[in-house]
Chain A
Amino acid sequence: MSALQRDVLRLELPCAAKYLQVVRLAVGGAADRAGLSVEDIHDLKVAVTEACTNVIDHAFDEDAIRSGRARMVVTMIIGEGEIRVEVEDEGRGFEPKHVLAHFNSAPPQPGRLGLYLIRQMTDELQIISAPGSGTKISFVKRGSR
């Protein structure tokens, strides 16, 4: 992203599907502040929802979710005509190469559609994770349409 002034918004929330719409509203608003088009904002909403859904489905065990210990953090870094979104958790983590080997496949297989959509709908994608060390997935969306 450019070195111009960037506003940073941070949203911490429980790992619960009922908050996915809240995440979309927040990211959509932030992307609007970045000057992205309605179409680009649609793409970004899908990408962030997929990333959060992965956290909800895979990052924590049932006990952590039930007790409220399972949380995720969505960070939005607003630039000029672009936005970076980061979705972080402190869950079980995974070996990224096992995932990266699959999500570039075409046509995507059911169960791997989420990462495929993130990849297709954003401009940069980075996954940092290791077993036992949580996960951070980040992507940039630049205004294009």
Chain B
Amino acid sequence: MVIESRLVDGWLAVVKVAGELDAYSAPQVREQVEQVIATGAAWLLMDLTEVEYIDSVGLGIMIGAAKRTNDRGGDLAIVAVHPQVLRVFQVSGTKELLNVVGSVAEAQALLAAARARGSEQAARGGEG
């Protein structure tokens, strides 16, 4: 299991995971995600492009991360391309809920748009 994390443009936390995400590797991934969220990150991109296997344990980590970012007014997006991984998101009914898309660029654009909408709403709230 290989995990890397970085901050993009000062607001977007990106966690990239490679390998098989099951109950054996999950603690590593969970710890890394927790560390990133503990820094105050509200916008999180989980890059699972190189993940070849996921199950309910991995889904649980993603659902937990989505809740944490939502609580901070942010959101989570997931990049997944492997058919097995996409199938698990689809069957579990979490594909839309977790913003699963096919490329990093798409995920970045999705989160940037959501962040811009949040800023606009905050500005309008400030005017009122």
Tell me whether A21 and B24 are in contact in the complex, defined as CB-CB below 8 angstroms, given that A46-B88, A114-B55 are known contacts: yes
B91–A120 touching, CB < 8 Å: yes
Binds A, one of B57-65, B103-111, B120-128: B57-65
Within 8 Å CB of B57, what residues of A? 53
Which size bracket describes the interface of B in this complex?
Answer: 10 to 19
> Taking CB as reference atom, which chain A residue is nearest B54?
A46
A50–B56 touching, CB < 8 Å: yes
B53–A117 touching, CB < 8 Å: no
A116 CA to B91 CA in the complex, in Å?
9
> Taking CB as reference atom, which chain A residue is nearest B90?
A120
B56–A114 touching, CB < 8 Å: yes
Near A by CB (< 8 A), chain B positions 42-56 give 53, 55-56
Within 8 Å CB of B23, what residues of A? 17, 20, 49, 53, 56-57
B87–A49 touching, CB < 8 Å: no
A113 CA to B53 CA in the complex, in Å?
16
Binds B, one of A5-13, A80-88, A104-112, A129-137: A104-112
> Taking CB as reference atom, which chain A residue is nearest B19?
A21
Near A by CB (< 8 A), chain B positions 61-107 give 63-64, 83-84, 87-88, 91-93
Give A12-39 as 1s and 0s: 1 = Cβ < 8 Å from B's Cβ atoms.
0000011011001000000000000001
A53–B92 touching, CB < 8 Å: no
Within 8 Å CB of B63, what residues of A? 110
| Closest chain A CB from B81 CB (angstroms) | 14
Q: Tell whether A141 is near chain B: CB-to-CB under 8 Å.
A: no
Question: B residues engaging A (CB < 8 A)?
Answer: 20, 22-24, 53, 55-57, 59-60, 63-64, 83-84, 87-88, 91-93
Question: A residues engaging B (CB < 8 A)?
Answer: 17-18, 20-21, 24, 39, 42-43, 45-46, 49-50, 53, 56-57, 106-108, 110-111, 113-114, 116-117, 120-121
